[in-house]
Structures are given as structure tokens and as C-alpha cells.
Structure 1
């Protein structure tokens, strides 16, 4: 059902914020603070969202894939990122990539990721990536959108839903981040007993030995 954006209640993100350029610039200016473990921390930020979905659904699964080009994708089987239709019938996705997470960004003491560093939200991943493609499948439709350094460079592009729901976040980290992901270390973190509650995490390393 189409609704005015003014009636949408903010929970994790501000629906009206769209692209918060100053917020993204702040992250890019200090990668050592926002991604202290480099790529590993970015991966954990994404998996944390899959864990949120799994907790809300009573269980779930995600797969982390390390690609030969240095990019990483995290795919989950959740409901997909909240996407609504405004009063003009346009699809509007919750701005999780380009604006701050209201729960964590300004309150780093609220939750730590398995690496021991604060969770701050998906915008950290987008801002510190050369590019990021967010594929989002929901019951009411499916879309993909590309970002560069956190700024969307396409609109929501409709795609076939394939009869499933869930999200895929595929990103290539900024070259300034320290060190490549080490599969064994990523595996240790994502498989920590109890780290993700009811979320099961698989790791697929496609890089050359």
C-alpha cells in the first residue's frame, strides 16, 4: 500500500535522510576508527544485519564469499531490506547504506562485534568500499542498487525475485584499508560459538590458493 513518507516511523534509520553526504565523509576520513580490523570488520558489520534478520525470523543462514577480485559478498535468506512504496507509487528502500544507523553509530557502547570493536552500521561498509551492490529481494518485489564510496550511482533497478527473499551485499573494500581478509581468521570470527545466535554462517573462499 502506498503511503506518504511523512507517516513512516523511523526505527533503525531515518527514512527522510536519503544520502547523508557529511556522514559518509566522516567515515571515509577516518577508516582506522570505523574499520579497525579492515576488511574483516566490514564483513562483520554486514553479517550483523543478517543476524538481526535471523533473530526476528527464529533462524536463518548466510554465506560469506571471498571473490578472486578482492571483493566480498554476504548473502542471507531473510525478508530483505525494508522497501516501501510512497504516495506516488515509487519504491523507496530504507537508507541503510547511505545514512547512519540510529541504534549504534552515535552509541558505540551499545553493541560490539565478534572482533571486539563497536558495531556502527552498514553505512561504514558502503563508505569504505570502492563499490557496493545491494541486491534486495522481498515478497513485494526485488531490486538492485550500486553505490560508490557510499553514494548511490543508480536508482533501484527492478529484477526478478526468483521466488525467494533475502539480501546480497557485494562490495570491494577501499584500498586504504589494512590487509586482505584471511579466510581462516574470518572463519574463526563468524563461527564463534554464540556470536550470532540463531544465524548459521558459511564461508566460501574462491580466491586462488
Structure 2
């Protein structure tokens, strides 16, 4: 091997910054270059708008799939600031759309995380062949254009504004993505989920890609997680054994709040969905606490009414699952996730807080009506005895 072949020095190190790094490894920032990555692009742009609504600075978010293959995200908030950002020599809007880790502070300490890794709309700009931004603020309409992460025009006054808000439209770069066709159903599923989990959220999703057939849905659910349980049950809701049990509670011990709804149906399947700060989770301390609390409440009621003998073991969490539909949502000041995908919540104090709250609430509910308590408890106890 020659000296040329073995030489290894600083010339071999390639430094990629800003939009170059994003375009070189897009999967690191939006998850993939397939349709799943396209959906994540929409979520990155919608993140700020959604949290403006939850902070009561806007009333709604409108998302439109346009005929030209773009996506338009609009809100009626105060408008992204257009003055220069502290520490940057560009307007706030341009910093938000061109500089990584720049975000608008909505004032919320439990913001909904839609972004994949917290970079925000700058990653969308870098992966789009074109992006346009319009800000309506203090009676003036401002506009700016971008291409592949770079501003191509200065921020310019383009006329008077009626109302206020921000509209960002982007067209994904076909050189990056294997497809630029968005799934309406995929977007609807996630935004519906957010609307269930955040009762003040109002989102409209419109598909104008085919001018002869347009489609629009409004996602707004005042019933919150209780409506979510009804939706998950679908046609099985008609066969529900009992009404939905739902409650919310602020718990200082876990520096957060919980919002939980559940009920039993006659169908054998279990449908339990869990979320931490509106992010979908597959497991975690909130789920374990929920199951602990359910099992403790059922066991205590069964023992108090002589349905279990002193020799019978406590009813395990696995016995309460049949026919159970539940939504377990917690929102924390400092959520701790296990792993980069945020699929498992790790806050240890959450388990005891959720478990105690569920045990107390379900225990009271069972004691209020012996007939409905029997409809729940009897099948569970009989199943436990068969095991």
C-alpha cells in the first residue's frame, strides 16, 4: 500500500453545515424519504401553528394540499415576528425558516411536539424545492420566498393586511423524496389524534389536488379523550356494557396533568392508546400506572363485597383487559423518554400518581351503582377463577 493510500489527515473530513447537512442525510431529520417523511414535513411546519392555538394566541389551523403538489399551513395567530432576532442578523421569520434549532416561543410549558428532532420548519425548507411565507402582522402583509433552504428574496412588504396570522407553503424536492404524493388519510389520522387530546384545538384539513373532487374535514372534539374512546370503539360502541368513565387531574407530584377515559364493551379485543405530551407511546410508566390502578380498584371492590375469598390472589392487570377501550394521556413539564423515538415514557413518579388517581376514581364509580359494578366485576372475577 502506497503512502498516498494510507495518508489520513484533515483533508478527509467533510464539514457539512445547515441545509447541506440536512439534504445529505434527510432521513436523520424527517425519518425517511418515503411518504412517511413527507408527512413529517407537514408536522414540522404545523408544530408552531398548533401550539399557537393551544397557547390561546390563535383559534385554528388550516392545512391544504394544493393542486401543484404543495402544502399550505395557515393560522390566525399574531404572526411570526419580522424584526431581527437576538443573536441573528436576519428577520425572525427568516431565522425560523433557515436556521436549525430556531423556534417561536408560544409561552406554553407543555407544548405539543410534532417535530421529529426539534429542528422545526428549517428542515422542511432545506428539503423543499420552493417555500413561500406570508406574515400578516400589525396591519401589514409581509412575504418572502426560499429554495432548498436559502432565502431567494428579501422579506418584503406586499400590501395591507386584514387580520393577522402566518401562512407557509412548501413543495417537497423530488430530488430528495421517492414520492411527493401526500397521504390525506395519514395526515388526518395524526391531526385527529391531536384534536382528541387537546380539546381547544381546531384543525381543518383540505385536499384540493383534484379540482373536480375536493375533500375537507374539520377536526375539533370538545369531549376530548371521551370522544377518542367513542371513536376507537366505532361500531362496538353500540355494544358498550357501560358509559365511558373519564376524568382529568392536575398532579403537582408529577409536575403535570393526566386525562384518562375508558370503558368496557362486549367484544373481546383490547384497545388501549397512550400518549405523553400528545406524543403516541407504546408503553411507559403512565400505562403501567393505569393498569395498576385498574387492578387495585377491581380487587378492592371484589374483596369488600365477598367476591374473592381471603385465599384468592389479587386480580392481575391482565384480567381487566378483555373488552377494554382506553386512552391514557399525560402532559408533563419535563417528560423523560426512553430512546430517541420517544415511544416509552420513563418518569418514575408518573406510575404512582396515575395508579392512585385511577384507583380512586374507578373505586368511587364502582361504589356508586352496584348493578353497573356487577356488570364489570363479575366477568373479571369469573375469568380470574378459571385461570
Smaller-chain TM-score range? 0.7 to 0.9
| CA–CA distance in structure 2, aligned partners of residues 42 and 62 of structure 1 | 16
| CA–CA distance in structure 2, aligned partners of residues 134 and 185 of structure 1 | 25
Instruction: Give RMSD over aligned pairs.
Output: 2.7
- The residue that corresponds to 1:96 in the other structure is 96
- The residue that corresponds to 1:201 in the other structure is 203
- The residue that corresponds to 1:177 in the other structure is 177
| CA–CA distance in structure 2, aligned partners of residues 124 and 196 of structure 1 | 26
| CA–CA distance in structure 2, aligned partners of residues 171 and 71 of structure 1 | 5
Q: How far 1:122 moved relative to its partner?
A: 1.0
- Cα pair distance change 1:39/1:161, threshold 3 Å: farther
| CA–CA distance in structure 2, aligned partners of residues 92 and 53 of structure 1 | 20
Q: How far 1:160 moved relative to its partner?
A: 2.4
| CA–CA distance in structure 1, aligned partners of residues 65 and 18 of structure 2 | 28
- Cα pair distance change 1:102/1:81, threshold 3 Å: closer
Aligned residue runs from structure 1 range 47-196, under 5 A:
47-57=46-56, 59-84=58-83, 92-94=91-93, 95-102=95-102, 112-113=113-114, 117-139=116-138, 141-175=140-174, 176-179=176-179, 180-192=181-193, 193-194=195-196
- The residue that corresponds to 2:18 in the other structure is 23
* Secondary structure of residue in 2 paired with 1:83: coil
**Given that residues 101 and 118 in structure 2 are in contact (C-alpha distance below 8 angstroms), is that contact kept between their aligned partners in structure 1?**
no
Of structures 1 and 2, the larger Rg is shown by 2
**Given that residues 133 and 169 in structure 1 are in contact (C-alpha distance below 8 angstroms), is that contact kept between their aligned partners in structure 2?**
yes
| CA–CA distance in structure 2, aligned partners of residues 57 and 161 of structure 1 | 25
Task: Please give the TM-score of this superposition, normalised by the length of structure 1.
Answer: 0.75
* Secondary structure of residue in 2 paired with 1:113: coil
| CA–CA distance in structure 1, aligned partners of residues 59 and 80 of structure 2 | 15
- The residue that corresponds to 2:311 in the other structure is none
Task: State the number of aligned residues.
Answer: 178
- Cα pair distance change 1:96/1:85, threshold 3 Å: closer
Q: Deviations over 1:56-109 (max 9, x none)?
A: 3255211111112111111111111112279xxxx9334100101257xxxxxx
* Secondary structure of residue in 1 paired with 2:159: coil
Higher relative contact order (CA 8 A, sep 6+): 1
Q: How far 1:140 moved relative to its partner?
A: 5.5
- Cα pair distance change 1:112/1:54, threshold 3 Å: closer
| CA–CA distance in structure 1, aligned partners of residues 62 and 168 of structure 2 | 11
